A and B are shown apart, each in its own frame.
Chain A
Amino acid sequence: KAGVTQTPRYLIKTRGQQVTLSCSPISGHRSVSWYQQTPGQGLQFLFEYFSETQRNKGNFPGRFSGRQFSNSRSEMNVSTLELGDSALYLCASSLEGLDVANEQFFGPGTRLTVL
């Protein structure tokens, strides 16, 4: 099976712009989660989607949003970019979300740099 893929892998934006990141989960996985990784804050949960519905959300401002499509692919959007949004954004997919012990499979990440 192909692993989780994320596009683009690298992105450079300027403050005030918006950005959309894409994640394609492993075939058959219906849950997609997003994480932000920074040197200062480590890995932080952004949100999780299951069957096109946001089921859980982390403590990030409303500028961070996401969605999931019927084929389980997911996008996240960050509007009005700030310098502090520079980070590696990781996507993870897993099987049916009813079992809380499901293994999450991570993508390679999208490196976002805000200038």
Chain B
Amino acid sequence: AQRVTQPEKLLSVFKGAPVELKCNYSYSGSPELFWYVQYSRQRLQLLLRHISRESIKGFTADLNKGETSFHLKKPFAQEEDSAMYYCALMEYGNKLVFGAGTILRVKS
């Protein structure tokens, strides 16, 4: 079965420090991977997807098929980055398989 693993429940960093949120997946085909974010009191929203190879709010994520990873990175964390982050893999028919999520807490 397809799985997405986010090993850290909570990641706490200081403002200005680098951030790396880990995501590993298992999938038999070519994966479509996403990062979703949920800020406090807001709805779940797409942060970025691997096929677009773009940087959103300073975040990037590279798909590493050899290590089956899709880690989310940002060189300098900001307080407004504090949120819950979900890594997700898309299966057929718009079905998203989510990881358990990682709370990112950026301290001042």
Contacts and interface: CB of A to CB of B under 8 A. Distances in A.
- Report the interface size class on chain B: 20 to 34
Contact of A107 (B43, B86, B100): B43
Contacts of B90: 100-101
B49 A106 contact: no
B36 to A, nearest CB: 8
A101 B53 CA distance: 13
Interface string B86-105: 10001111111111110000
A56 interface: yes
Main secondary structure of the interface of B (DSSP, over half): mixed
Interface string A1-42: 001000000000000000000000000000101010000001
B91 to A, nearest CB: 8
Point out which of B43, B86, B99 has the most chain A C-beta atoms below 10 A from its C-beta: B43
B96 A33 contact: yes
B46 interface: yes
Interface residues of A, number: 27
Interface string A80-115: 000000000010101001001111111111000000
Contacts of B95: 33, 45, 48, 56, 58
Given A45-B97, A55-B93, 4 more contacts: A35-B96, A48-B94, A100-B92, A104-B96
Interface of A: 3, 31, 33, 35, 42-45, 48, 50, 55-56, 58, 90, 92, 94, 97, 100-109
